[in-house]
Chains A and B, each alone.
Chain A
Amino acid sequence: MRPRYSRILLRFWKNCLLREMTFRGHFILRVFGEVGWVFLLLVFIEVIFSKTSHVRGWSEPQYLFLMGTHMLVTSLFETLFFENCWRISDLVRKGDLDFVLVKPANTQFLLTFERIDFASLANLPVGIALCTYAAIQGGFTITFGHSVLFVLLIGTGVCMLYAMLFMFALTSVWLIRQTGLDALWFYAMSLSRYPAEIYRGFAGGTLWFVCVFVVPVLMVANLPANVMVRTFTTPFIINFIVAAAVLLILSNIALRWALRSYRSASS
């Protein structure tokens, strides 16, 4: 008898929705916070482009499209995975991971999908609107094939971010107190918001090289945006997808490894 994962998933989401509904005020405040932050960023971009027409070869509409793409990626990641990764350190410290481990279902699945953060979903329509606006303003020609690739790459990017943060969260099995996840996510998000080209100058390009080719975190928004509104090369896309797949596999290996060292806080 295999566990029915789709039904478990539905139940998780339903429970999260029920919980959100009991704390309506909190939910509404968070949505305003999320969306408000986006408008601040837009103002910032307006200021930059009032001084110059291009940033490292990106025109304003292209840049806005990148922004929109970035919002899609981060909003999906935060909705689906951030809270789940965040929770892991708490589960370990209090020993509540015990209850996940005794359940007859894949442990990584239970850890990955138990929570869904509906408030973060608010930025998804904003991102779509921004992309649409930028595409119209820039007069980009967008084919159906490109759009499919765009969606696929966004999915790949979200998976990549997930694998990275999940592995990072697992270090709490050894460190017990692990509150660095916030900071890591902040860096990943801030770095990937801008065109990757602007990092070429730093530290002889090492950081740029690692973040573009090895763990292509810089590319999670850049690559899909490039596919739609600039140029791209196929090997680069393959590199990106392979990197995400490798990270996902590594995250599973890391989990098995971490569980061997899990001590289960005493009760």
Chain B
Amino acid sequence: MAEIHVRDLHKNYRVHVKPAGLGASVKSLFHRTYKEVQAVDGISFEIEPGEMVGFLGPNGAGKTTTLKMLSGLIYPSSGSVSVMGFVPWQRKNEYRRQFALLMGQKNQLWWDLPANESFRLHKEIYHIEDDLFKRVHGELTELLEVENLLDQPVRELSLGERMKMELIAALLHSPRVLFLDEPTIGLDVVAQTNIRHCLQQYNQERQVTILLTSHYMRDIEALCDRVLVIDHGRLVHDGLLRDITERFATHKLLQLRFQNGRMPERPEEFGEVTDLTPPRLTLRVPREQVPQCVSHLLDCYDVDDIAIEDPSIENVISALFRQTAEQASDDVVVAETMNG
């Protein structure tokens, strides 16, 4: 039985279209125009217990909205969700005791008090037994190296230190399912690695299920085998991270070094030239043309060294996002011409 089960989930927001200018604003006081934003547009997936899944997508893709529905904060427009057998938006206490939501941009700790006071409040709200609290609290503060900051008011902590405290607050009650929305946003590399490491260890020790969004590919690469890629509210990929390259990379990079300084006179005939510093040449070649291109080059020139590489995942994904964004703007143009 899957831990998280999402079927055909939709969320539409009705937003008031605000016209620019004061005159138009006054008019809109009496006559409002609305448009529907399809924040999440028919998503389905399943996540098994203990899995760590990355949730990728450009800004506004609907990642946060999905996580909010999974944690029962907002109601979906349609579709069904079951997490550990619960319907999230019924907000049963048994459900809420077993998951945690961490949002990189919001903080839940008491701003003027030391983090420890907030932790003690959590202990009561989640009804954590003394022994368990002491143990988990000790483990987490040690793992994140924040023992000496526990008694300092949260407002005096740095962003990274505060994020670590937020993470502790989210993990204190030993949740079975974790929703993390950009847990490493704005942190330096050391703090990012620190948090990543903590999540990894936590997942291994307790087999918690984690669904994580991040704009840092490093996070996703380090933590998740499987990724869900979402764009404009739709799922465009559900599978292994490395399959993304297989599926979406349209080109490969060909790196060549020539002997004797004799090089192709018109290298652009073979592909897009991305770098040319004799005797080296780097070409971006459509995948299906790679074999042909390589054999041709090897036949006609003295090639000293050759490497065929996939573009980095980061590049593939940003190309993928750009491509879908162009598609979407094409759709808009089509829709507009149809209306007009």
**Residues of A at under 8 Å CB distance from B?**
1, 3-4, 7-8, 10-12, 14-15, 18-19, 22-23, 94-96, 98-99, 101-105, 107, 110, 260, 262-264, 266-267
Contact = CB atoms under 8 A, between A and B. Distances in A.
Interface residues of B, number: 37
A262 B74 contact: yes
Contacts of A95: 106
Nearest to A105: B125
Contacts of B101: 98, 102
A14 B124 CA distance: 13
Contacts of A18: 113, 117
Contacts, number: 86
A94 to B, nearest CB: 8
Contacts of B117: 14-15, 18
A263 B127 contact: no
A1 B103 CA distance: 27
B73 A4 contact: no
A33 B282 CA distance: 75
Contact of B127 (A4, A11, A101): A4
Interface in B240-273: none
A149 B127 CA distance: 37
Given A8-B121, A96-B106, A104-B93, A3 B127 contact: yes
Given A99-B106, A104-B97, A11 B124 contact: yes
B125 A102 contact: no
A69 to B, nearest CB: 34
Given A3-B127, A18-B117, A102-B73, A267 B96 contact: no
B120 interface: yes
B73 A264 contact: yes
B192 interface: no
B124 A7 contact: yes
Contacts of A10: 124
Interface of B: 13, 64-65, 68, 71-75, 91, 93-97, 99-101, 103-106, 108, 110, 112-113, 117-118, 120-121, 124-127, 153, 181-182
Given A15-B110, A15-B117, A103-B125, A266 B73 contact: no
B64 A266 contact: yes
Nearest to A15: B117
A101 B113 contact: no
A99 B108 contact: yes
Contact of A104 (B65, B74, B96): B96
A11 B120 contact: yes
Contacts of A15: 110, 113, 117-118, 121
Given A98-B73, A101-B91, A19 B124 contact: no
Nearest to A22: B112
Contacts of A23: 112
Nearest to A110: B125
Contacts of B64: 266-267
Given A98-B68, A98-B103, A1 B127 contact: yes
A9 to B, nearest CB: 9
A105 B93 contact: yes
Contacts of B75: 260
Contact of B68 (A1, A103, A264): A264
Contacts of B121: 8, 11-12, 15
Contact of A101 (B65, B72, B126, B182): B72
Contacts of B181: 267
A245 B287 CA distance: 73
Contacts of A22: 112-113, 153
Contacts of A267: 64, 103-106, 181-182
A1 B120 CA distance: 18
A8 B110 contact: no
A267 B108 CA distance: 14
Closest 8 interchain pairs by CB?
A104-B96, A99-B108, A104-B97, A267-B105, A104-B93, A7-B124, A8-B124, A11-B121
Contacts of B105: 267
A103 B96 contact: yes
Nearest to A265: B106
Given A3-B127, A267-B103, A267-B105, A102 B120 contact: no
B15 to A, nearest CB: 10
A262 B72 CA distance: 11
Contacts of B96: 102-104
A101 B13 CA distance: 20
Contacts of B124: 3-4, 7-8, 10-11
A95 B103 CA distance: 11
Contacts of B153: 22
A254 B73 CA distance: 17
A255 to B, nearest CB: 12
B73 A262 contact: yes
Contacts of B65: 266
